[in-house]
Amino acid sequence: MTLFRRLSTVSVALLFTTVPAAGDDDASTSPRRRALVIGIDGLTGPALQRHAFGAGANGALRALMEQGVFTRCDHAGDPRCARAHDGPEAGAGFRYETASGWVSVVTGMNATGHGVRGNDVDEQMVFVETSQQHPTFFRQLRERGFRTAAGGVANFLTSREGESIVSGIVDFECGVENGALLVAWNDVQSCNLEWRRADDLESERRDDNLATWVIQRIDDGQADLVMGVFDEVDAAGHSFGFEDTRRYPEAIAQVDALVRRVLDHVRARVSDHDETWLVMLTSDHGGHDVLFGMLGVHDTTVPADRAVPFVVATYGASESLSALKEPVRHMDVHPTIVTWFGTDPGKVDGQVQGIRGPHPKAHPD
């Protein structure tokens, strides 16, 4: 069969990169920079706003928004909403799905750049090739000596679904051989991630488990970039509708409580370890209801499937954030994260948001 395998440049780069031990300092006396990306699968822009300025007014999501800058989104058609990639506007077959959404977030590329149309394995396979020109921020940063970590489930990371294995878009960057991913669902490291954690899509504790793992990555002080994608909000949207007024909001409230746990540890690192953190939050897609509101889907419906949240905040930083530059799109996460670490994001479709770059090179610890 055709061999799609390509050698990762990560191992070569690391052979020639001197990485200081944790706690070492460079010539600068500025705090060490770290970053956290909070992904909430299937969280719509209007749903976050309703929660944060309603039942969740005292929650962690509202506090994160007020700590930084964010997009307002009264309804899916609100021009102030952040948007996902172009979806069907990019061409036939492009849909607002998990793989096509998260690959835009982690590469900074619009749909035509990464070429991933949706969640089907054959559609995700395209990223084996397009990632060579449009790498994820995980690979870009790791090749420069930074340490990266990510956790979640399919179709973000390859994971279990009961007895089945479901592919995740981030793992396709590491290549395939004879049609099979080189990254196994339970691998704890990969070509682009020094720490990797995938859970079971059928586990009722998958989000809680993820929060615990993200906190471990924050507390041990080793990873420079940590990303966690929470899944249960999307599951509630599918089961009860993205406009449901009880169970979908309850799922958002549950992830709000998990985000509170995570951010408590970020603040502790700032106060106790002389660190400064960039925290970003977004989603892969929105959603809409079908069958008289009994179920929720996301496919090609504009604007409902395209309206996503977008938040940028810093903890421990001396500089204030700048206003967001319109249009705000979830692919803006990539250049913002890469710039935070003093690295050139390259040619991407997203734009740097909130932070005032370019930042000086942040040494890896």
- Supply 258's token pair: 């998990």
Domain-embedded: residue 345: no
What CATH number should be reported for the domain holding residue 74?
3.40.720.10
- Supply 85's token pair: 């990639």
Per-residue three-class SS string for 319-338 = CCCCCCCCCCEHHHHHHHHH
Q: What is the pLDDT of residues 207-250, one digit of tens each?
A: 999 999 999 999 999 999 999 999 999 999 999 999 999 999 99
Domain-embedded: residue 308: yes
Structural domain containing residue 165: 31-340
pTM exceeds cut of 0.75: yes
Q: What is the pLDDT of residues 26-43, one digit of tens each?
A: 435 789 999 999 999 999
What pLDDT, on the 0 to 100 scale, is given for residue 120? 98
Domain-embedded: residue 346: no
Q: What is the pLDDT of residues 286-324, one digit of tens each?
A: 999 998 888 999 999 999 999 999 999 999 999 999 999
Domain-embedded: residue 113: yes
Counted domains in the chain: 1
Domain-embedded: residue 20: no
- Supply 351's token pair: 């734009």
For residue 42, give the nearest of 121, 106, 111, 96 by alpha carbon: 96
Cis preceding linkage at 327, omega within 30: yes
Q: What does DSSP assign to residue 89?
A: G
Q: For residues 224 and 35, is the Cβ–Cβ distance under 8 A?
A: yes
For residue 232, give the nearest of 255, 198, 265, 209 by alpha carbon: 255
Residue percentage of the chain with pLDDT more than 90: 88
Domain-embedded: residue 156: yes
Domain-embedded: residue 272: yes
Which stretches in the chain have pLDDT values below 50?
1-27, 365
Amino acid found at 254: Q
The whole-angstrom separation of Cα 324 and Cα 337 is: 15
Domain-embedded: residue 170: yes
What pLDDT, on the 0 to 100 scale, is given for residue 2? 38
